[in-house]
Amino acid sequence: MDKVFIRGLAIETLIGVFDWEREIRQWLLLDLDLGTDIRPAASGDDINCTPSYKEVADRLHEFVGGSEFQLVETLAEEVAHLLMREFRLPWIRVRVAKPGAVISAAEVGVEIERGEWR
């Protein structure tokens, strides 16, 4: 299986468990690996045969930007399910980082894999 990837997709959203976090929007950084077979797209030079980076990014800006999850764990799980369903992906890796959440760390977050790698 091949991968289409997006790195460092920055999206502002409402996220967090503390009261002060429920009153402000914060930036998240998403890294995505989308499992797919790029051979049909490559052989026909056809964008319709591969996940579109722009469509994936636009969909995530809409979904994540409008979400109000408390945990990045929940957000990562929902992003994985959404993209697998809407883009018919057999496998996905989603990494969600929350820069500045821990003062002494550049970023913290979660990384999950869903589906079956072939």
State the Cα–Cα distance between residues 81 and 76, nearest whole angstrom.
Answer: 9
Note every long-range contact of 86-90, with CB atoms under 8 Å and residues 24 or more positions apart, other chains counting: 86/59, 87/34, 87/51, 87/55, 87/56, 89/34, 89/35, 89/36, 89/51, 89/115, 90/1, 90/35, 90/36, 90/115, 90/116, 90/117, 90/118
Tell me if residue 3 is catalytic: no
Among the listed residues 11, 98, 109, 114, the single catalytic one is 98
Which of 20, 7, 6 is CA-nearest to residue 89? 6
Could you list the active site residues? 98
